[in-house]
Structure 1
Amino acid sequence: MKLTKREVLGAMATVPLAASCATTGTARAPDTIVVGAGVFGAWTAEMLRRTGRKVELVDAWGPAHARASSGGESRLTRAGYGTSRRYSEMAAESLEEWKRLSKDQDLPLFHNAGVLVFFDQESEYATGSYQTMRALNLRTERIEPEELRRRWPQIDWSGVKFALLENDFGALMARRSVATLVEQFVRNGGTYRKAAILPPKGGERLDSLQTAAGETLYAGEFVFACGPWLGKLFPEVIGKRLFVTKQEIFFFRPQAGDTRYSMPAMPGWIDFFGETVMYGFPDLESRGFKVANDVHGAYVDPDTNDRLTDATSLAQVRAYLGQRFPGLKDAPLSETRVCQYENSSNGDLLIDRHPQWANALLVGMGSGHGFKHGPAVGKAAAKLLQSPSAEAEPIFRLAGKAEKHDRFVH
């Protein structure tokens, strides 16, 4: 019997699907258990499923739940990374998977709004981004101030020397994208279970996991993609190498009938000015014009952090909004969100083997820019797990993650 999307998502939100419960007795245990149904875990589970493995995806609360780094409304997808070509390649590779996932959905998962990046000066980052994107045959324009004022008169371009427009990219609808991916993963033979996993224990090899409910889950391979909880599952291995920060997002309501801040008149955008980086989205799906400060916030515990925004942060965003987008100077605040980044020391992602267990992978440290890379992360993790002798790529290795928070990758 074929289940509707509503029925599948409903089953995931309440109890494990019947197939995912059959891991004892005569039923074969999964080849691989992936812990964490955020963007990294869900795509890793899907990429492993495509290799023919029997894969079970496990999450304590649900796919891209409200406290997950993959939850919330929207994420930018872009390819500009200065001279960090690997991330540009991953963004381009991942975009094709996101577009396929979005195809034929009732509501789009990807909005091809474009991404416009403002610069107040020439820099290695800007030049490297432009050259790399052009080399990858991505439709990228360098736009000078006069043309910026003509095309986007709703923006005050004071202090901007030039901008780069990434025409192929835009916005991903975060929670909806991950929920849709998990639903398709289950439809295509994967299994899903809601369970809280305790910190793993094992000898030379990891053979099983224990849940908070007293269950034992067996598999031959394990992937841990637990976002800000990765350090809690592995306090000695990860511990002080993971920096979880509070991030605040604000949505403002344009005036009734004002289309200047919606697609197609407005792209997604990033504003590099001085030491500050602001970013945001057009009014997607009538939720409001999104603005956020990309500065790393206070360190938080994902289990106890109350999701309340700070008045000082709102004042800073309002001051910026009135200067850069004057038509929204007095726009009422329609919604706020608090999420978190789970940062590595320098912003590089983590895709590496557990130092004790060769059959276990650690995947995470999205560092505020990782969501867009979900499909490429999943492919890299699956490839590493498929090849026991293979080593992780240097930038993704655990050994390169320090205990000092010093962000480099944007």
Structure 2
Amino acid sequence: MQVYDCIVVGAGIEGSSTAYNLAKNGQNTLLLEQFPLPHSRGSSHGQSRITRMAYGGADYYTEMMKEAYKLWEELEKGSGTTLYKKTGLLVVGKAESNLIAGTVQALRKYSVPFTKLDEQGLQSKYPMLNYSGVQGVEDHIGGVLFADKALAAFQSEFVKHGGVLRDNESMVDIFPGDIVTVKTNKGSYRGRNLVLTVGPWATKILPPLGVHLPLKAVRISVFYWKEKIAGAYGAETFPTFLAASGSGDFDVYGLPSLEYPGLYKLCLHYGPEIDPDRRDIADSSWVLEDMKKFVAKHFPLLEPHPAVTETCIYTNTPDHDLVLDRHPAWRNVIIGTGFSGHGFKLSPVVGKVLSDLVMRKTPSYDLSHFRIDRFQKSSKL
């Protein structure tokens, strides 16, 4: 039986980026996906994601994003596909919050162009918003990533570099060792290394391997709201958007009208905890009610009810930091999980980091924030 240098399980954006980086570096790599591609059952589907340098209170992500922008540009050139639209990003919050003070600190530290807006400046520049007692920060190179195209670009470039992609093939079991065996519903595969980027299914796949992480899979309601005035929140007039809904530093995000004509994408950054195989059972009516109140209060030029509703899944950690680490016992098993709804933009760097771990290279970033053992419920073998 053929022995791959690496088997990557999960062809979402993180797994596809990892597989691409491995194949680009000459690693004989197999990428497995449980569903037929493309699909909308995980966390990487849809047409748009926010990209930003602004990260209040976690400037290590700002550092990673400096490279991510360069790597996105490389992928654009290699695939011949436009993946990024520069719209800017507007962050709105209390002056003393991490969302504002922390963002300003991070942008200054890494010399990212930005503008700080006081309450009057915010009202003057963005009359389509209704806010008081807050400030704004504009990240001038924030914007939109075209998600479906980005995912397809990683996968096509992976295959172009000699990678093997098998979809509609679900993993049944893992047999760790110096050579890892992965059993699927269609056969068995062997690899010197294994990368698990399985999204919300990490809550089911990792515990049998002795890895007990406090992960929560949550269903996000993706709302699109009709503009009362055409173009009020279009990409030429309004940037991507982050704000607190009232209970945290970052609870609401928005993207300009790009996917549906005249519809603005505005969503709550959390939702009900779910089983990824039974996602529609959980009640999320409260999410809609919270967002209707938010829209009525702060977005006066949107209709009061969403015109379209879609869904996505986050895999959250308690601290909302990623998990990028080796299995505590089997060092040739690499785990990437817990992307907490903000991992898409980071995926070129995540793929590079995970591939470095596979190839026994020293990653170019401090991974202490992303270790498995930072949780009290760490691996118990």
Assess same fold via TM > 0.5: yes
Deviations 1:105-149 (A, max 9, x none): 787422211110001232345223212212212111111222222
Quick one: structure 1 residues 55 and 165, their matched pair in 2 at CA, closer, same or farther if it must change by over 3 Å?
A: same
* Contact 2:21 2:351 survives alignment (8 Å): yes
2:17 aligned with 1:47, yes or no?
A: no
Correspondence 1:1-400 to 2 at 5 A: 24=1, 28-62=2-36, 65-103=39-77, 108-160=82-134, 162-194=135-167, 195-202=169-176, 204-213=177-186, 215-236=187-208, 237-255=210-228, 258-276=230-248, 277-287=251-261, 288-294=263-269, 296-306=270-280, 310-330=284-304, 333-387=306-360, 393-400=367-374
Percent identity of paired positions between Structure 1 and Structure 2:
28
Aligned to 1:12: none
Deviations 1:292-344 (A, max 9, x none): 112x32220111112887433222212211221111144x5321012221012
Measure, in 2, the Cα distance between the counterparts of 1:37 and 1:259: 35
Quick one: structure 1 residues 352 and 134, their matched pair in 2 at CA, closer, same or farther if it must change by over 3 Å?
A: same
Secondary structure, aligned partner of 2:172: coil
Deviations 1:252-297 (A, max 9, x none): 1224x61121011010101125314221111114352011112x32
Deviations 1:68-102 (A, max 9, x none): 11122322112222232211111221122223334
Secondary structure, aligned partner of 1:127: helix
Measure, in 2, the Cα distance between the counterparts of 1:263 and 1:67: 28
Quick one: structure 1 residues 122 and 71, their matched pair in 2 at CA, closer, same or farther if it must change by over 3 Å?
A: same
* Contact 2:213 2:375 survives alignment (8 Å): no
Deviations 1:130-181 (A, max 9, x none): 1221221211111122222222111112232x11111111111223311221
TM-score (norm 1): 0.84
* Contact 1:200 1:233 survives alignment (8 Å): no
**More strand by percentage:** 2
Q: How many residue pairs were aligned?
A: 372
Quick one: structure 1 residues 282 and 62, their matched pair in 2 at CA, closer, same or farther if it must change by over 3 Å?
A: same
Measure, in 2, the Cα distance between the counterparts of 1:223 and 1:377: 12
Offset of 1:208 from its aligned partner? 1.4
* Residue segments in structure 1 that go unaligned for 5+ positions in a row: 1-23, 405-410
Deviations 1:175-201 (A, max 9, x none): 331122101211232220122112312
Amino acid at match of 1:380: V
Offset of 1:66 from its aligned partner? 0.7
Measure, in 1, the Cα distance between the counterparts of 2:81 and 2:302: 27
Secondary structure, aligned partner of 1:217: strand
Deviations 1:350-371 (A, max 9, x none): 1111122111101111011111
Measure, in 2, the Cα distance between the counterparts of 1:97 and 1:64: 23
* Contact 1:117 1:272 survives alignment (8 Å): no
